[in-house]
């Protein structure tokens, strides 16, 4: 998107960007978005005006996407770009403009734009689908960044979050199956999340995740076999030995 060009365009711009990026301003008469700082200081941004620059930005976004997909922190963005340049990647030109977007801050903005695009695609696919199902489970974050986390552990709160999400998109009536790890808060007979959703959609098909059921079955079976207990004890002892001793 060209933030400095005055040419009119028929491209439909995502208006939610105005809420996400405070530095954006929108000109309805031209259907264009501009960088407010660039406009204030009369700066021209060459990206978007040349095919090579478009390729440059596109390549950066592919790198950012690859980093996210492979759980590599965006702090490594500049190093990965240096490697690509060393390998003579043709799209990573040495841009004469001092704005290069190769720092982790720009990387986060690109990742946010990619995330929004993927989310919009998913919602569009769900809207076009005849029916769909959801799987609910806990997740972990590999990031070392500290966050304040508020946990919703009761069924009512989880139900309201799920239903609110789909109600906002008008898709609750298409939700036909629900799978979870079997926790009581999810599948409890009277007040679990699944039954609360089923009250809204009588056709809901409730599933206890087969992978979790298999894990529970294996765990129960292991407790009945003395040899398995013995092997587990040895493995834990070996682990604890090496964990608690420093070798030089």
**3-state SS string over 206-229?**
EEECHHHHHHHHHHHHHHCCHHHH
pTM of the full structure: 0.59
Residue 126 pLDDT > 60: yes
pLDDT higher than 60, residue 98:
no
Q: What pLDDT score does 235 carry? A: 92
pLDDT of residue 1: 44
Report CA dihedral (209, 215, 221, 227) to the nearest 10 degrees. Answer: 170
Residue 15 has pLDDT above 60, yes or no: yes
The better pLDDT of the pair 72, 149 is held by 72
Distance from C-alpha of 125 to C-alpha of 143, rounded to nearest angstrom: 30
Residue 104: exposure state from Cβ atoms within 10 A (0-12, 13-18, ≥19): middle
Structure tokens at 61: 């976004």
Long-range contacts of 86-89 (CB under 8 A, 24+ apart): 89/59
Q: Which of 46-55, 100-109, 161-170, 231-240 has the lowest mean pLDDT?
A: 46-55
Question: What's residue 246's pLDDT?
Answer: 63
Domain assignments of the chain as residue spans, ordered by start: 17-123, 129-208, 213-243
């Amino acid at each position: 998107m060209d933030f400095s060009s005055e040419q009119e365009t028929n491209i439909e711009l995502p208006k939610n960007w105005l809420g996400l990026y405070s530095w954006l301003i929108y000109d309805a008469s031209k259907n264009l978005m501009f960088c407010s700082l660039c406009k204030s200081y009369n700066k021209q941004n060459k990206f978007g005006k040349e095919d090579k620059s478009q390729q440059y930005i596109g390549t950066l976004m592919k790198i950012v996407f690859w980093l996210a997909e492979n759980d590599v922190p965006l702090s490594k963005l500049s190093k990965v770009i240096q490697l690509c340049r060393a390998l003579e990647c043709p799209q990573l030109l040495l841009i004469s403009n001092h704005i290069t977007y190769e720092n982790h801050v720009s990387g986060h903005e690109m990742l946010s734009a990619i995330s929004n695009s993927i989310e919009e695609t998913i919602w569009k696919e769900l809207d076009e689908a005849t029916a769909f199902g959801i799987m609910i489970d806990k997740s972990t974050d590999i990031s070392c960044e500290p966050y304040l986390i508020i946990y919703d552990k009761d069924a009512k709160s989880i139900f309201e979050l799920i239903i609110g999400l789909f109600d906002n998109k008008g898709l609750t009536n298409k939700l036909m199956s629900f799978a979870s790890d079997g926790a009581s808060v999810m599948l409890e007979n009277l007040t679990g999340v699944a039954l609360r959703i089923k009250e809204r959609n009588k056709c809901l098909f409730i599933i206890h995740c087969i992978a979790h059921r298999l894990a529970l079955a294996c765990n129960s079976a292991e407790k009945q076999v003395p040899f398995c207990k013995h092997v587990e004890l040895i493995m834990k002892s070996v682990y604890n030995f090496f964990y608690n001793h420093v070798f030089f």
